[in-house]
Chain A
Amino acid sequence: MTFNLRFGVTTALALALSAGLVSAQDKSIIVQSTTSTANSGLYDYLLPIFAEQTGIQVNVVAVGTGQAIKNARNCDGDVLLVHAKPAEEQFVADGMGVERFDLMYNDFVIVGPNEDPAGVAGMTDAQDSLEKIAGSGALFASRGDDSGTHKKEMLLWADTDVNPADGSGEWYRETGSGMGATLNAGVGMDAYVMTDRATWISFENKGDFEIQVEGDEDLFNQYGVILVNPEKCENVDAESGQAFVDWLISDAGQQAIGDYKLNGQQLFFPNAE
């Protein structure tokens, strides 16, 4: 038994140590990105194509845009791929990123229960529909997590006469979690939710929810990609990271983004220049 205990401990230590070495074997980079791109399956489609052409393994950490930027500021990633243009430009202005490239877009939609208690179905003005939801007594579930989607939603509210914080905990429910978790919560309590279209299409717990508001230019959702500055973060693999950025904005990468379809629908529209 003493032997077994010692054996167990040695094994545990060996496992613990060997685990650390795995990541050093191949060329690999870490991309700090958003749940919307990961949950939609886009990376599962793109990364094998990129890996085949370059031999570079891309590891994606999918968190909210706010957290992704924060992690990248801590040098915990080689590339940042998120959707909050002002915050991304700030990231580059602060010297943390080399250069920001427009990559692709999709759009936000407001989904809600089929009965549409706020009567916003078919509206095409985002701000008007938010005001109508706020005044109707219906519930609205917000990310509340400083993600790209949350930042966008707050920008839209700022254009209305409503301050959603006044209804926080009442009609305005901040989940403080990811897009999928917020949709689950929204479906669970019949609350309207603003979501990016890609997550919505790939979401599998829709219940009786439908897209109620779409088509406003203000609901445009631009994604950008940035190489983390190797001068600020010496651990950044600039060569592999740049190769990934270059590929994404090249004709081949843009073509691949446009080719990705789920249930026959295109989720992201490439628009690199």
Chain B
Amino acid sequence: MQDFGEAFGLALSLVASGDADLVEIVALSLRVSLSATGLACLIGLPVGALVAITRFPGRNAVLILFNALMGLPPVVVGLLVYLHLSRAGPLGFLGLLYTPTAMIIAQTILITPIVMALSRQVIEDLHAEYADQFRSLVLSRWQQVSALIWDARFSLLTVGLAGFGRAVAEVGAVMIVGGNIDHLTRVMTTAIALETSKGDLALALALGLVLMVIALGVNALVQSLRMTAVRHAYA
């Protein structure tokens, strides 16, 4: 149990001293996971919205697939991306393995299904309210999609946060495609795994605390943005 007290002290002193290595690792974590979240939203929101407002044969099967893909194991995603980006793989010529870009790709694949599945649900509920109005206005499908995404934006922020949370917390995918290379591809979670394997449990736990504080910070920031925006929207 002494590890807990030690971890708190370590976490505080790491943050207070502005430890250069820690700053680098935190910055890369944020860069990778925020990029992946942005890309996942770019792909996932329109697809989710389109599926929400469209009826087509086999739609239920697609919904089940979306929902099942939310449970993609990170290590499997990592392995698939590794096999593609490896020099021996079909995309090896790009030379992306063991770079932050590879990590962004892996996390994007990991969380896009989450964004798709959750935004599909959010937008489908909203669409039920809007359907008659859309019919009377004779809007095109894409006009409907953009109107729905825009009007559901506050709920969709939470969808984005769910994706970000999954991305920033996973270790399996970035470990394989990033390689946990010091000063190049080391992020919070792989650093925690490394310190654990060195038996430095207090430091590992301290890094874990820092990671949780960062996740808390990102969520608080988004929440306050959202509240400000909501006030403006309904003022």
Inter-chain CA distance A266–B197, complex, in Å, is 21
> Assuming the A-B contacts A75-B87, A235-B95, are A205 and B181 also in contact, with contact meaning beta carbons closer than 8 angstroms in the complex?
no
Check A15–B35 contact: CB distance below 8 A.
yes
Check A1–B150 contact: CB distance below 8 A.
yes
Residues of A within 8 A of B135 (CB): none
Residues of A within 8 A of B100 (CB): 19-20, 22
Stretch at the interface among A54-62, A113-121, A239-247: A54-62
Inter-chain CA distance A30–B98, complex, in Å, is 9
Check B201–A12 contact: CB distance below 8 A.
no
Could you tell me the dominant secondary structure of chain A's interface residues? Answer: helix
Check A184–B38 contact: CB distance below 8 A.
no
Q: List which B30-85 residues lie within 8 A (CB) of chain A.
A: 31-32, 34-35, 37-39, 41-42
B104 at the binding interface (Cβ < 8 Å): yes
Check B97–A76 contact: CB distance below 8 A.
yes
Stretch at the interface among A85-93, A123-131, A149-157, A173-181: A173-181
B interface footprint on A177-207 (CB within 8 Å = 1, 0 otherwise): 0111101100000000000000000111110
Check B86–A76 contact: CB distance below 8 A.
yes
Q: List which A186-242 residues lie within 8 A (CB) of chain B.
A: 202-206, 233, 235
> Assuming the A-B contacts A75-B86, A178-B197, A180-B196, are A16 and B184 also in contact, with contact meaning beta carbons closer than 8 angstroms in the complex?
no
Inter-chain CA distance A16–B34, complex, in Å, is 10
Residues of B within 8 A of A17 (CB): 101
Check B87–A11 contact: CB distance below 8 A.
no
Assign chain B's interface to a size class.
Answer: 35 or more
Inter-chain CA distance A163–B101, complex, in Å, is 45
> Assuming the A-B contacts A9-B42, A184-B196, A235-B87, are A22 and B99 also in contact, with contact meaning beta carbons closer than 8 angstroms in the complex?
yes
Inter-chain CA distance A121–B184, complex, in Å, is 43
Could you tell me the dominant secondary structure of chain B's interface residues? Answer: helix
Check A74–B87 contact: CB distance below 8 A.
yes
Inter-chain CA distance A9–B36, complex, in Å, is 10
Check B198–A74 contact: CB distance below 8 A.
no
Check A19–B97 contact: CB distance below 8 A.
no
Inter-chain CA distance A206–B199, complex, in Å, is 8
Inter-chain CA distance A143–B96, complex, in Å, is 30
B1 at the binding interface (Cβ < 8 Å): no
A39 at the binding interface (Cβ < 8 Å): yes
Q: Which of A8, A30, A73, A205 contacts B200 (CB 8 A)?
A: A205
Check B200–A204 contact: CB distance below 8 A.
yes
Q: Which of A20, A205, A206 contacts B99 (CB 8 A)?
A: A20
Check A205–B31 contact: CB distance below 8 A.
no
Q: Which of A44, A206, A233 contacts B87 (CB 8 A)?
A: A233
A147 at the binding interface (Cβ < 8 Å): no
Residues of A within 8 A of B95 (CB): 23-24, 235
Least Cβ–Cβ distance between A115 and chain B, in angstroms: 20
B182 at the binding interface (Cβ < 8 Å): yes
Inter-chain CA distance A62–B191, complex, in Å, is 13
List 7 additional A-B contacts (Cβ < 8 Å) besides A1-B229, A13-B35, A39-B198: A20-B99, A59-B179, A59-B182, A76-B98, A178-B197, A180-B197, A235-B87
| 27 A-B pairs with C-beta separation under 8 A | A1-B150, A2-B150, A9-B38, A9-B41, A16-B35, A17-B101, A19-B31, A19-B32, A20-B94, A20-B99, A22-B99, A24-B95, A30-B98, A39-B194, A39-B198, A59-B179, A59-B181, A60-B181, A74-B86, A75-B87, A75-B88, A75-B92, A76-B87, A76-B98, A204-B198, A204-B200, A235-B87
